[in-house]
Amino acid sequence: MAYIYKRGSKWWCRVKDAGKWVSTATPFGIDDPVDKRKAKRFADSAQSKLDACRAGGAAVSSGPLTVRRYAASWIQKRREADLDWKNDQGRLKHHVLPIIGDLVLADVRAPHIVDLFHKMRFTSERKLAQRSIYNIYSVVSALFRDAALEGLIDASPCILTDAQLGPLVDADPEWRAGSVFTREEAETLIADPRIPVDRQLVYAFGVLAGLRPGEAAALRWRHWDPSVEPLGKLLVAASYNTRKHRAKSTKTDVVRHVPVHPTLAAMLAEWRLSGWAAMMGRQPTADDLIVPLPPAAANARRSRTGEPFRSNDYTGKRWREEDLPALGWRYREPYATKSTFITLACKDGADPDVIESRVTHTKKSRSAFDGYRRDSQWPETCGEVAKLRVARRARVTGRVTVLRTQRNVGGNVVEAAGVEPASGNGSDQASTRVGTPFDVSRSPAAAGLRARRAN
């Protein structure tokens, strides 16, 4: 039904919408014979979309395809694909569409994009941070990329560099250097009695394993295997997304195997033995979250239902309103526990490449060679994590008691911090090898399952 015709230097098309013919420009010129076939496909595609919308009862706007009209359908597709469509929609609505929304999509060129971001950087009423500028540009670039893939434009006009966008720097150049806890602060976070035990463990996942808050929130008891040698293992395969209210893949879509530091092993063992049940009122199962929301907080939820995931909102509020005032420290986000793990581990002699590539920022492998490699890098990774010198420090009657951590990774014996010594040896050593989950085969003292009390 649709057809094309020449008008000026471009092919135009006419499509039938609700019994009326509507003309619109295609993005193709009349000089190249190949573009004539592209223009016809463009027209046929436009007609098919109109017919499909009419069949589904949806309202269809007539006239040329503007950036605003295309953005509406693009956001809908992003939503159907379960992508970050809400943030994309907000960035387009507030920063992009007011300036170029009424331009015909096929007429947008690189100078329009340059002018758009120049106005954002220098003439907008509210000055945007450079990271916000780059986030908006990534949305605009994705929109025009998809338009090009659909054949609606010849090529994306988003070819800007930092010469047009500006340098990618923090709005406050000082905050990143200070977004870390000292060793003494890290040890306080995971042991100070002014912080509830469940939140001590939340902070410990960052300080001792380098996990992101969402990754810690999605951990279940089945993801912890304390029987692996020389250190236990955490399987980090999911991350809780606060905006979508559900667990999704990790930030890099990679499943990570993270060694359990001896101090963290002792905390997990103690939490599984008694702390979890004391908070939840029953014994944990393999499918339970390791650190769920407390029942009172879960019952108070209004918009979120389902499993009691501990969201970043909940953790952040408790940090700002309770834990941080109790400690009296300067402000830092709970996310700083991850940078603390990296900073202290490297300071204690851990190999930065091993920590980055195997523990905190593992990337998808693009090498076929890795699929044929059969040797294990696990002992080496455990050895680097075990170099981190962070122990639990309990404040008792005005003095600080240091609960020592001793380890011998090379000999497959790793000593726990903050637990009773194994019976019969009279030393400060206690093995973190506590048996398989939910089947403790040794006495609690020998298995490292009870906290050592200060004399």
The predicted-structure confidence for 23-63, as pLDDT tens digits, reads as follows 888 888 888 888 888 888 888 887 877 776 666 554 445 56
Residue 444 has pLDDT above 70, yes or no: no
Distance CA 204, CA 210 (A): 9
- Our measurement of the distance from residue 303's CA atom to the centroid of its chain's CA atoms, rounded to an integer in Å, reads 22
Question: pTM for the complete prediction?
Answer: 0.66
What pLDDT shows up at residue 82? 80
Type of residue found at 214: G
Residue 258, token pair as written in the block: 């993270």
What pLDDT shows up at residue 451? 36
The predicted-structure confidence for 123-167, as pLDDT tens digits, reads as follows 877 788 899 999 999 999 999 999 999 988 989 999 999 999 999
Domains present along the chain, CATH in parentheses? 3-55 (no CATH), 90-165 (no CATH), 183-362+378-447 (1.10.443)
Query: 104-108, 167-171, 247-251: lowest mean pLDDT where?
Result: 247-251
Spell out the residues 6+ positions from residue 100 whose beta carbon is closer than 8 angstroms to its own.
Answer: 67, 108, 112, 113, 116
What pLDDT shows up at residue 252? 63
Q: What is the DSSP string of 266-329?
A: HHHHHIIIIIHHHHHSS---TTSBSS---HHHHHT-SS--SS----HHHHHHHIIIIIHHHHTP
The predicted-structure confidence for 221-238, as pLDDT tens digits, reads as follows 999 999 999 999 999 988
The predicted-structure confidence for 244-285, as pLDDT tens digits, reads as follows 666 666 666 688 999 999 999 999 999 999 999 999 999 999
Distance CA 311, CA 303 (A): 13
Peptide bond into 230 cis (omega under 30): yes
What pLDDT shows up at residue 371? 53
Mean pLDDT for the chain?
81
The predicted-structure confidence for 373-420, as pLDDT tens digits, reads as follows 555 789 999 999 999 999 986 543 333 444 443 444 443 333 333 433
Question: What sign does the dihedral 113-114-117-119 (CA atoms) show?
Answer: negative
Report which of residues 209 and 424 the model is more confident about.
209
Report which of residues 437 and 196 the model is more confident about.
196
Region 107-126 average pLDDT:
91
The closest alpha carbon to 323, from 198, 189, 209, 201, belongs to: 189
Provide the β-strand partners of residue 246.
241
The predicted-structure confidence for 72-94, as pLDDT tens digits, reads as follows 999 999 988 888 888 999 999 99
Measured at the alpha carbon of residue 137, what is the angle toward residues 134 and 143, in degrees to the nearest 5?
Answer: 150
pLDDT band at 343 (very low <50, low <70, confident <90, very high): very high
What pLDDT shows up at residue 423? 31
Distance CA 103, CA 27 (A): 13
Asked if residue 430 lies in contact with residue 423, where contact means CB atoms within 8 angstroms, the answer is: no
Residue 293 has pLDDT above 80, yes or no: yes
**For 331, which DSSP code?**
P
pLDDT band at 436 (very low <50, low <70, confident <90, very high): very low
